[in-house]
Amino acid sequence: NAGVMQNPRHLVRRRGQEARLRCSPMKGHSHVYWYRQLPEEGLKFMVYLQKENIIDESGMPKERFSAEFPKEGPSILRIQQVVRGDSAAYFCASSPPRQSMNTEAFFGQGTRLTVV
C-alpha cells in the first residue's frame, strides 16, 4: 500500500524556467493539499484540491503558481518563471473523502526545489 508519492525528489531549475512538481495521493484518497516549507520554517498551506476542482487556494501566491488535480493522473504544482525565493521543499498531503471514518492527512517525502 504505497503512501503519497512525490516526484521528483530533487529539482534544480535556473531562474526563469518552469518547475513542475507531481503528487500521486494514497490509494482511495481524493483530497490533495500542497504545502511549502522554507528553510527554518514550518509548513505553509498553499492549495487544496479535489479531482478536477480547486477547493481552497488561499495560500497560493497570486502570480506564477498554479495547481491542478485532473480526473486521471497525479496532482501537479506548477511554478512559472522561477526565482531564487521559490527554493524550498514542497510537500503534498492526501486524505480520504470526508465521509470516511479516518480523515487524517498523510504527507509525501517532498520535492526539494533549488533555483540557481
Residue-by-residue DSSP string for 93-115: EEE--TTSS----EE---EEEEE
Contacts to other proteins from residues 35-74, by CB under 8 A = 35, 40-45, 48, 56
Select from 20, 68, 107, 114 the one that contacts other proteins (CB under 8 A).
107
Q: How far is the CB of 53 from other proteins (least distance, A)?
A: 15
Distance CA 85, CA 91 (A): 17
Yes or no: say if 72 and 3 are a contact pair by the CB < 8 Å rule: no
Q: Residue 112, interface with other proteins (CB under 8 A)?
A: yes
Give one word for 40, left, alpha or beta, with left for phi > 0 and alpha for psi -120 to 50. left
Q: Residue 21, interface with other proteins (CB under 8 A)?
A: no
Reduced to 3 states (helix: H, G, I; strand: E, B; else coil), residue 93 is: strand
Of 13-21, 61-69, 72-80, 93-101, which segment contacts other proteins by CB under 8 A?
Answer: 93-101
Q: How far is the CB of 16 from other proteins (least distance, A)?
A: 27
Select from 21, 23, 82, 94 the one that contacts other proteins (CB under 8 A).
94
Distance CA 59, CA 73 (A): 23
Q: How far is the CB of 102 from other proteins (least distance, A)?
A: 10
